[in-house]
Amino acid sequence: MIFDTSYIKELAEILSKEGLTEIVLEDGEQAISLRKEVKEVIAQPVAVSAPVVSACQPTAPASEAPAKQECKAAGTPITSPMVGTFYSASAPDAAPFVEVGKTISKGDTVCIIEAMKLMNEIESEVSGKVTQICVKNGDPVEYGQVLMYVE
């Protein structure tokens, strides 16, 4: 049995559309190999308008880093369980989950942390009154970073 030419054309289209360089099929005693020639690409210089930081260059000194909001320990901290982006509400036009002075219960949602396009509701592990919120809406947060304090 010989491979049908329409089947070979179909394989060639898959090779092209999927960006593959080679397809090899074996069927009993038959085999077919389709290979796309890959031309070497020579990099062309590109004008860059923004400064480029190489991995070998030191980063800006800590004194030039953006200042984090001051947050003084006052009660039990609620920390971030992951790296991500802090959101104080479920939507931009929605009321925040908590505000300073609001009383919360264990299990209440206090914020959302977006990590890898997933929205993770963060629940309080303590009950009490929110005394301080240490991050702003949309701020990046680190694992273990204090988000707020509850008394």
Predicted pLDDT of residue 44 = 52
Could you list the residue range(s) of the whole structural domain that residue 130 is in?
A: 72-150
Amino acid letter for position 81: P
For position 64, what pLDDT does the model report? 42
125 within domain boundaries: yes
In a domain, 53, yes or no: no
**Per-residue pLDDT, 38:** 59
pLDDT of residue 30: 72
pLDDT digits (tens, 9 = 90+) for 35-76: 776 555 555 555 544 444 444 444 444 444 444 556 787 789
If we measure between CA atoms, which residue out of 148, 146, 62, 135 comes closest to residue 104? 148
Query: Does 114 fall in a domain?
Result: yes
Question: Which of 1-15, 85-99, 118-132 is the least confident region?
Answer: 1-15
84 and 29 inside one domain: no
Q: Report which of residues 31 and 109 the model is more confident about.
A: 109
Amino acid at 84: G
For residue range 92-113, what is the model confidence (pLDDT) as tens digits? 899 999 999 999 999 999 999 9
C-alpha count within 13 angstroms, C-beta hemisphere, residue 23: 17
Domain count of the fold of the chain: 2
